[in-house]
């Protein structure tokens, strides 16, 4: 049995692992088989992570965090969690391999998943011109006309990035103002290849084998129009990834895991949550990292207050012998 | 890194289209994080089912003609070829059980 299992390997998961590792808790990090490193693995340049004045690549930051966690004794497992039993003193985590890992505490840091538009054609044309990852797929849209849906920082970042490849990038936004930060807005406004389509909502994606266009509905007057496109990048936000804990952990009305005050404590003793899965407001690498720290400290505190026999079990059923000091 | 044989624009016809075997082509690129994640999973599937399917990879940066011909717009893209025809397309990195389910017809 383990003392700590951390589920997730974004900034929250790895930072929790660094702190838990340094506290001697030898955490197991279940990092996912294909999404290890989390959302930052799909970004390019990160300019706002403190300590890196020249910026660095998202994947590089995540590999450094993993290395730092492993240096302090974290074990990183490239597998997925398929089942969780979180009540009781001993938590059970079932992995994709079929193995079941047990621990006294679980830190749940699964982040969030891309939100879908939920319109006709989206599912069918996904990977066929419809994408959620500009850095992954932008390359295939050289000399093409494409669009980004959304009005936040990630939409601006994607649109700006995509002008490296595309001849024209429309930004489709359902309001007439952007949620994005000033610096990201200015970059997009200054880019000649970017054209904003305000107060427009994508209501259908058309095309047989590949995306060929979108139907736009005006959010003010309800009129519809068609726009020919060869690619559509969707950046309309994220939803907390909570499907593993439905019915076990209390959720907020926003769909995040509910935690007590500024702590990471969920409604179940020994279960802590951190990162984007508890935060739909800030969603930054650094806030997620801070949240991971809180969770590790909360877990450490919880373990310190546990019955000694349980702890001994977690430490390999080997009670520590009292040390005899010879005279 | 991956154990899969690399195929190219030049070798695609001989190695894939004219092959008697069932061949999965993993379309990938160096800069694609999800491609790096799925590569070892494909290696495992290849070694566990070496009698049923052969897995090769094509770098889309170095081999744009083939990538364009098969209308690749998202990677990783995994296409299964039999007798020169695409019989299955899987897009995106997925955990091993999900990939095995997608490829079940070719692994059994």
Which residues of A lie closer than 8 Å to B, measured between beta carbons? 32-37, 41-42, 59, 80, 96, 126-129, 131, 133, 135-137, 139-141, 209-210, 231
Give the E-state strand segments of A189-327 in sequence order: 194-197, 200-206, 213-218, 224-228, 231-234, 238-240, 271-273
A119-162, pLDDT tens digit by residue?
A: 999 999 988 999 988 887 898 999 999 999 999 998 999 999 99
Q: Which residues of A touch B29 (CB under 8 A)?
A: 139
Q: Which residues of B touch A42 (CB under 8 A)?
A: 33-34
Can you give the pLDDT at residue A325? 55
| Cβ–Cβ under 8 Å, residues A216 and A119 | no
Q: Is the CA virtual torsion A317, A298, A284, A71 positive or negative?
A: negative
Active-site residue among B7, B32, B45, B53? Answer: B32
Q: Which residues of A touch B39 (CB under 8 A)?
A: none
Give the E-state strand segments of chain A in sequence order: 2-7, 28-30, 45-46, 56-57, 75-77, 81-85, 91-95, 100-108, 112-114, 130-131, 145-149, 168-172, 194-197, 200-206, 213-218, 224-228, 231-234, 238-240, 271-273
A49-74, pLDDT tens digit by residue?
A: 999 999 998 888 999 999 999 999 99
By annotation, the residues of A acting in catalysis are 133, 136-137
Q: Which residue of B has its CA nearest to A81?
A: B95
What does the alpha-carbon distance between residue A104 and residue A124 come to, in Å, rounded to a whole number?
43
A137: nearest CB among B38, B61, B74: B74
Q: What is the mean pLDDT of residues A67-83?
A: 97
Interface A–B counts its CB contacts (< 8 A) at 64
What distance in Å separates residue B4's CA from the closest CA in chain A?
Answer: 18
* Residue listed under structure tokens 């997730």: A8
Q: Which residues of B touch A59 (CB under 8 A)?
A: 33
Q: Are strands B23-28 and B77-82 parallel, antiparallel or unpaired?
A: antiparallel
Can you give the pLDDT at residue A307? 84
Residue A230: name the closest of A170, A294, A180 by CA: A170
Using CA atoms, how far residue A188 sits from A29, A155, A256, B12, in Å, is 38, 10, 31, 40
Task: Based on the residue annotation, tell me whether B32 is a catalytic residue of this protein.
Answer: yes
Inter-chain contact B77–A127, Cβ cutoff 8 Å?
yes
Interface test with A, best of B30, B33, B38 (most A CBs within 10 A): B33
Residues in chain A: 327
Q: Which residue of B has its CA nearest to A128?
A: B73
> Is the preceding peptide bond at A220 cis, omega within 30 degrees of 0?
no
Tokens linked to A207? 């095309």
Band (pLDDT 50/70/90 cuts) for residue A326 is low
Tokens linked to A206? 């058309």
Look at residue A323 and tell me whether its pLDDT is greater than 70: no
Q: Which residues of B touch A35 (CB under 8 A)?
A: 34, 37, 93
Using CA atoms, how far residue A178 sits from A49, A83, A149, in Å, is 23, 39, 12
B9-42, pLDDT tens digit by residue?
A: 999 999 999 999 999 999 999 888 888 889 999 9
Band (pLDDT 50/70/90 cuts) for residue B1 is low
Look at residue A20 and tell me whether its pLDDT is greater than 90: yes
Band (pLDDT 50/70/90 cuts) for residue A313 is confident
What distance in Å separates residue B60's CA from the closest CA in chain A?
Answer: 9
What distance in Å separates residue B12's CA from the closest CA in chain A?
Answer: 20
Using CA atoms, how far residue A296 sits from A172, A248, A265, A291, A304, in Å, is 40, 21, 11, 9, 12
Which residues of B lie closer than 8 Å to A, measured between beta carbons? 29, 31-34, 37-38, 41, 60-61, 67, 71-75, 77, 91-97
Residue B24: name the closest of B66, B71, B73, B79 by CA: B79
Q: Which residue of A has its CA nearest to B33?
A: A41
Look at residue A324 and tell me whether its pLDDT is greater than 70: no
Can you give the pLDDT at residue A327? 47
Task: Based on the residue annotation, tell me whether B35 is a catalytic residue of this protein.
Answer: yes
Look at residue A90 and tell me whether its pLDDT is greater than 60: yes
Inter-chain contact A127–B74, Cβ cutoff 8 Å?
yes
Q: Which residue of B has its CA nearest to A132?
A: B74
Active-site residue among B7, B16, B24, B35? Answer: B35
Q: What is the mean pLDDT of residues A231-252?
A: 96
Can you give the pLDDT at residue A319? 46
B51-89, pLDDT tens digit by residue?
A: 999 999 999 999 999 999 998 988 999 999 999 999 999
Residues in chain B: 108
Using CA atoms, how far residue B70 sits from A288, B11, B85, in Å, is 40, 15, 11
| Cβ–Cβ under 8 Å, residues B5 and B12 | no
Mean pLDDT of chain B: 93
């Amino acid at each position: 049995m383990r003392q700590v299992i951390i589920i997730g390997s974004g900034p929250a998961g790895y930072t929790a692992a660094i702190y838990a590792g340094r506290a001697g808790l030898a955490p197991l990090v279940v990092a996912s088989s294909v999404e290890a490193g989390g959302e930052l693995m799909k970004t390019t340049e990160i300019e706002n992570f403190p300590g890196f004045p020249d910026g660095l690549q998202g994947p590089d930051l995540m590999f450094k965090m993993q290395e730092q966690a492993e240096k302090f004794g974290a074990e990183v497992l490239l597998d997925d969690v398929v089942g969780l039993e979180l009540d009781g003193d001993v938590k059970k985590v079932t992995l994709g391999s079929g193995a079941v890992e047990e621990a006294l505490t679980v830190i749940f840091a699964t982040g969030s998943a891309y939100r879908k538009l939920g319109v006709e054609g989206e599912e069918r044309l996904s990977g066929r011109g419809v994408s959620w990852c500009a850095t992954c797929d932008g390359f295939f849209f050289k000399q093409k006309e494409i669009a980004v849906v959304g009005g936040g920082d990630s939409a601006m970042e994607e649109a700006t990035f995509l002008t490296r490849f595309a001849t024209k990038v429309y930004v489709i936004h359902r309001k007439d103002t952007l949620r994005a930060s000033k610096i990201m807005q200015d970059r997009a406004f200054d880019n000649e290849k970017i054209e904003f389509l305000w107060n427009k909502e994508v209501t259908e994606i058309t095309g047989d084998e590949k995306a060929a266009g979108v139907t736009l509905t005006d959010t003010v007057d309800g009129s519809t129009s068609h726009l020919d496109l060869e690619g559509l990048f969707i950046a309309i936000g994220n939803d907390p990834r909570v499907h593993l804990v439905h019915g076990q952990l209390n959720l907020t009305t926003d769909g995040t895991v509910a935690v007590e005050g500024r702590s990471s404590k969920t409604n179940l003793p020994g279960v802590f949550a951190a990162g984007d899965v508890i935060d739909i407001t800030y969603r930054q690498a650094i806030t997620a990292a801070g949240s991971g720290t809180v969770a590790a400290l909360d877990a450490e505190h919880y373990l310190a207050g546990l019955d000694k026999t349980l702890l001994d079990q977690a430490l390999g059923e080997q009670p520590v012998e009292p040390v005899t000091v010879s005279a | 890194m991956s154990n899969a044989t690399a195929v190219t624009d030049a070798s695609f016809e001989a190695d894939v289209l004219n092959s008697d075997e069932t061949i999965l082509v993993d379309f990938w690129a160096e800069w694609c994080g999800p491609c790096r994640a799925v590569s070892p999973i494909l290696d495992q599937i290849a070694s566990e089912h070496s009698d049923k399917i052969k897995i090769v990879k094509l770098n889309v940066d170095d081999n744009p003609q083939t990538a364009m011909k098969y209308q690749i717009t998202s990677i990783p893209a995994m296409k299964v070829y039999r007798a020169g025809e695409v019989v299955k397309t899987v897009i995106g990195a997925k955990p091993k059980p999900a990939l095995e389910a997608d490829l079940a017809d070719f692994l059994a």
